[in-house]
């Protein structure tokens, strides 16, 4: 795991100052504390910060072929690199190291961009080919590893793992893009097709960008996509066995490392499954770590201990304060752009804990998106069945009217929020689902914005990307389309950004075996009834894991990392909330209506309304804007 940065001049081969590349990579030192390197040639400069995981002595980067005609700087892991290497050796390639990095050099010469189809891993890399006078940028299938790029005023294309690498370049101009604020408030994160800084782009997951000298910078090219349109057939027990084999292979391939390795263990199904399969594959006790909270309602340590005892892991638990908002500024620095998923706080803490004993930690991320594990999928699937039974005109008229009349009850458990359900049923699924996954809804956002800000948006809406994605999804039904859209937006924008930034901030490599593309693609072929059944998400996965895990783990209600942000804004952060309306950073942008912000804070503190998540968004936005533009 590493940090990469560099410059490429597509129009003319201008000289590149190595010191400029060093400045960019130094901003990413946390991603790679074990070493650094720079390589330059006319018109190009590649930089690298290394967290040594495989071939500790030989995997130094940037890495070049012996003739220096192909050079790569690379962040990530190729889990099947030994298989790809063997294929390349049969084609005549001669390797100088045992590093997975070298596979990219020989793979490029053998297959060009088509080599990506052979790679199973998490990666973002930049490869320069002197013979073709080109720079090739590529990102893994799901966007586990990030890659930002921007065209500078001197004609260079600058790229970096994190935004802070671009910010280190003196020609980078910090101009805010208000559309990204709309996206952030709607979704809770700045999605991969947006940026808080105008001109900055994020290479989309499963895409590459080939820039050739003498030609304009093109649009990225999609090299992989997930397909929900096919359906697996066969007996349930056979599908269970196939699912477990995919999981087993994914876990084992991610246990290859030349440094200490362990796992996050929350006590939920996904991390417990990963630990179970690690224990099966390991001769030594698996190192596991769990974060506990001082409030029982948010604590899962007892369930994690059950799994740790069952598999005799070397288990490490640390209890933290549930009012752990002292990490806010640390997270703002780690994420660069505003990020409102408050579970980033405990994620950071568990990464800190893991780093004390290991350099690589396996996580359970990805299974909820692949196997329909979130509760919202259950509700959405039920709503889709209702939509299929009743004509749109009837639903719009009857449910829409009832929904507008029904009192708002955001405080109630999801099944009892009749207003939300009625309004969702009145709409098509592609319009209702984006609102279900959002944070601050369209109506409240419009109240928050100034008139000038609304005009500046010119109709841009955070939810529209979900609508468009669900409409074009290679899918058979609504559940397929919802999962597809989450894999394209929520997964890279929220879940994977959270884990990447939190782990890299403490120089820890996190690996996600349940995002092995073969496992996810198999899951996408399962009929909806095998993903959700009898109110249970991940039904087939849970059934397949019954020989490994006790039912009290498999079938307990999903908790996840819960942070009490609503309580914070009525207690320790109440003054922070009240101060948002007078914030020179936030209100000084001219984007917001100060009276609306003040009313939100007052109503929330008095218990008249529930605005905790929106206030958290505004607080994180204020801190991020101060850091980016202050």
Query: Which of 394, 309, 320 shows the shortest CA–CA distance to 353?
Result: 320
Q: What is the mean pLDDT of each run of 10 residues along the chain (630 residues)?
A: 94 96 98 95 97 78 96 97 98 94 98 98 98 97 98 97 98 96 98 98 98 97 98 96 98 94 96 98 97 75 95 95 84 97 94 97 98 96 86 70 67 57 78 94 97 96 98 97 98 98 97 98 98 96 97 84 83 94 94 97 95 97 94
pTM, two decimal places: 0.94
pLDDT at 413: 52
- Active-site residue, selected from the candidate residues 2, 104, 273, 544: 2
For residue range 285-317, list pLDDT tens digits in order.
999 999 988 776 667 899 999 999 999 999 999
Burial of 630 (0-12, 13-18, 19+ CB in 10 A): exposed
Bridge partner residues of 105 (DSSP):
none
Tokens found for residue 278: 């690690």
Q: Which domains does the chain have, with CATH numbers?
A: 2-176+194-222 (3.60.20.10), 236-365+495-516+545-553 (3.40.50.620)
Q: What CA–CA distances, in Å, run from 402 to 137, 275, 309, 411, 525?
A: 51, 48, 51, 19, 37
The secondary structure element, H or E, covering residue 262 is strand 261-264
- Alpha-helix runs per DSSP H in 67-148: 81-90, 101-111
Tokens found for residue 191: 């999605």
pLDDT at 563: 76
d(CA 160, CA 125): 10
The three-class DSSP label of residue 162 is coil
pLDDT at 559: 66
In the chain, what percentage of residues exceed pLDDT 70?
96
Tokens found for residue 431: 């319009």
Strand ranges (E), 9-102:
35-41, 44-50, 63-64, 70-78
Phi–psi pair at 126, nearest 5 degrees: -125, 125
Query: Is 2 an active-site residue?
Result: yes
Q: How many CA atoms within 13 Å lie on the side-chain side of 179? A: 18
Q: What CA–CA distances, in Å, run from 276 to 23, 282, 364?
A: 43, 10, 11
The secondary structure element, H or E, covering residue 613 is helix 612-629
């Amino acid at each position: 795991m590493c940090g990469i940065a560099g410059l490429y001049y597509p129009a003319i081969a201008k000289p590149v100052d190595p010191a400029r590349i060093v400045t960019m990579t130094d901003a990413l030192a946390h991603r790679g504390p074990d070493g650094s390197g720079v390589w330059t040639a006319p018109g190009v400069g590649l930089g690298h910060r290394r967290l040594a995981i495989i071939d500790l002595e030989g995997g130094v980067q940037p890495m070049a072929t012996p003739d220096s005609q192909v050079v790569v700087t690379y962040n990530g892991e190729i889990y099947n690199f030994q298989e790809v290497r063997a294929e390349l050796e049969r084609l005549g390639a001669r390797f100088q190291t045992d590093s997975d990095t070298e596979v990219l050099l020989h793979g490029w010469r053998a297959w060009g961009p088509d080599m990506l189809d052979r790679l199973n891993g998490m990666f973002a890399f930049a490869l320069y080919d002197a013979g073709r006078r080109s720079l090739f940028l590529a990102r893994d299938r799901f966007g586990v590893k990030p890659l930002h790029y921007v065209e500078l005023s001197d004609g260079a294309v600058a790229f970096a793992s994190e935004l802070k690498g671009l910010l280190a370049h003196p020609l980078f101009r910090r101009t805010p893009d208000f559309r990204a604020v709309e996206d952030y408030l709607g979704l809770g994160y700045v999605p991969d097709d947006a940026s808080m800084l105008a001109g900055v782009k994020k290479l989309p997951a499963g895409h590459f960008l080939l820039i050739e000298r003498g030609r304009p910078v093109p649009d990225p090219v999609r090299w992989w996509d997930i397909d929900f349109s096919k359906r697996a057939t066969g007996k349930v027990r056979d599908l269970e066995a196939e699912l477990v084999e995919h999981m087993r292979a994914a876990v084992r391939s991610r246990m290859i490392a030349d440094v200490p390795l362990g796992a996050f263990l929350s006590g939920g199904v996904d991390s417990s499954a990963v630990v179970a399969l690690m224990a099966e594959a390991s001769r030594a006790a698996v190192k596991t770590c769990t974060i506990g909270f001082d409030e029982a309602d948010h604590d899962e340590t007892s369930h994690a201990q059950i799994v740790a005892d069952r598999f005799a892991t070397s288990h490490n638990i640390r209890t933290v304060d549930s009012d752990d908002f002292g990490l806010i500024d640390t997270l703002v620095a780690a994420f660069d752009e505003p990020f409102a998923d408050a579970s980033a706080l405990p994620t950071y803490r568990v990464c800190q804990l893991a780093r004390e004993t290991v350099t690589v930690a396996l996580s359970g991320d990805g299974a909820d998106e692949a196997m329909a594990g979130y509760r919202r999928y259950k509700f959405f699937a039920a709503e889709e069945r209702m939509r299929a039974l009743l004509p749109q005109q009837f639903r719009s008229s009857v449910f829409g009217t009832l929904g507008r009349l029904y009192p708002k009850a955001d405080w109630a458990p999801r099944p009892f929020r009749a207003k939300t359900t009625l309004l969702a049923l009145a709409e098509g699924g592609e319009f209702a689902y984006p609102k279900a996954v959002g944070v601050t809804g369209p109506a409240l956002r419009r109240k928050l914005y100034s008139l000038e800000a609304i005009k500046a948006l010119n109709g841009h809406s955070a939810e529209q990307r979900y609508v468009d994605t669900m409409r074009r999804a290679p899918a058979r039904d609504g559940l397929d389309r919802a999962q597809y859209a989450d894999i394209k937006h929520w997964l890279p924008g929220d879940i994977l950004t959270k884990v990447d930034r939190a782990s890299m901030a403490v120089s820890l490599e996190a690996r996600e075996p349940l995002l092995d593309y073969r496992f996810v693609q198999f899951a996408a072929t399962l009929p909806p009834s095998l993903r959700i059944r009898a109110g249970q998400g991940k039904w087939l996965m849970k059934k397949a894991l019954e020989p490994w895990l006790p039912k009290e783990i498999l079938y307990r209600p999903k908790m996840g990392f819960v942070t009490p942000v609503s309580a914070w804004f009525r207690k320790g952060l109440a003054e922070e909330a009240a101060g948002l309306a007078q914030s020179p950073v936030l209100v000084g942008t001219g984007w917001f209506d100060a009276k609306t912000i003040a009313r939100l804070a007052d109503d929330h503190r008095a218990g008249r309304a529930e605005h905790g998540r929106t206030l958290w968004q505004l607080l994180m936005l204020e801190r991020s804007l101060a850091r980016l533009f202050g």
